[in-house]
């Protein structure tokens, strides 16, 4: 079973501690995913899919493992992994990470050495992720990979952030420690 098979809640937890890596002519960058946020589809008031399928959110209605990349506030790209069955638009937003490889390249892409990957837009910028991935299956992208953690980390569930609807749902999974 793939890491992204399951509900958004189960996949959000499964992604914590996983390695997200990108390759480019400039080098390899990778992070340990430390924060992921679940979006439950049509029944979730905070989900982009709450009002049904549109051209923008159509990747969310695809098979598990489809990438949904959108621009937030017209500035930052946000990376989501679609979960569940086709037509059930659940997804997990990868919110933050811990730098592992390619630190110099991340700093170059971000233009600063602090707060490199502690937010969804910062993470995509540091890793060189943009909307060219939108609608693509993870397995079909040769320059991006997500690898399961070796062991289950200790996590905490917290309310989602930056939302006006359903923000109280404790659907943000955060890495506390590794066993």
- Per the CB < 8 A criterion, the answer to whether 12 and 37 are in contact is yes
Q: Is 24 inside a domain boundary?
A: yes
pLDDT at 178 over 90: no
Q: Which tens digit of pLDDT belongs to each residue from 86-114?
A: 988 999 999 999 999 999 999 999 998 88
The model carries a pTM of: 0.93
CA-based nearest residue to 16, from 2, 3, 1: 3
Mean pLDDT of 169-179: 79
Q: Is 56 inside a domain boundary?
A: yes
pLDDT at 127 over 80: yes
The alpha carbon of 54 is separated from its chain's Cα centroid by a whole number of angstroms, namely 20
Least-confidence region, from 38-47, 76-85, 120-129, 168-177:
38-47
* Contacts of residue 167, Cβ cutoff 8 Å, sequence gap at least 6: 46, 159, 160, 161
Q: Is 2 inside a domain boundary?
A: no
Instruction: Please give the residue range of the domain that contains residue 69.
Output: 8-178
pLDDT at 80 over 90: yes
Q: Is 81 inside a domain boundary?
A: yes
Q: Is 16 inside a domain boundary?
A: yes
Read off the CATH number of the domain in which 143 is found: 3.10.300.10
Q: Is 96 inside a domain boundary?
A: yes
Mean pLDDT of 79-84: 94
Q: Is 3 inside a domain boundary?
A: no
pLDDT at 179 over 60: no
What total number of domains does the chain contain? 1
Q: Which tens digit of pLDDT belongs to each residue from 129-168?
A: 999 999 999 999 999 999 999 988 999 998 777 666 766 7
- Per the CB < 8 A criterion, the answer to whether 116 and 109 are in contact is no
- Per the CB < 8 A criterion, the answer to whether 17 and 31 are in contact is no
Q: How far apart are CA 36 and CA 97, in angstroms?
A: 9
Q: Is 37 inside a domain boundary?
A: yes
């Amino acid at each position: 079973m793939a890491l992204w098979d399951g509900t958004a809640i189960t996949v959000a937890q499964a992604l914590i501690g996983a390695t997200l890596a990108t390759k480019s002519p400039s080098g390899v960058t990778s992070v340990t995913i430390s924060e992921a946020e679940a979006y439950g589809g049509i029944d979730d008031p905070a989900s982009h899919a709450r009002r049904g399928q549109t051209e923008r959110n159509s990747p969310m209605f695809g098979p598990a493992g489809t990438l949904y990349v959108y621009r937030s506030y017209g500035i930052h790209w946000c990376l989501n992994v679609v979960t569940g069955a086709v037509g059930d638009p659940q997804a997990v937003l990868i919110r933050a990470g811990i730098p592992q490889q390619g630190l110099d390249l991340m700093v170059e892409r971000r233009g600063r050495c602090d707060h490199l990957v502690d937010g969804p837009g910062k993470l995509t910028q540091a890793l060189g992720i943009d909307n060219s991935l939108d609608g693509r299956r993870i397995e079909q992208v040769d320059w991006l990979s997500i690898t399961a953690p070796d062991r289950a980390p200790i996590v905490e569930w917290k309310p989602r952030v930056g939302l006006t609807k359903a923000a109280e749902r404790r659907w943000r999974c955060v890495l506390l420690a590794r066993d």
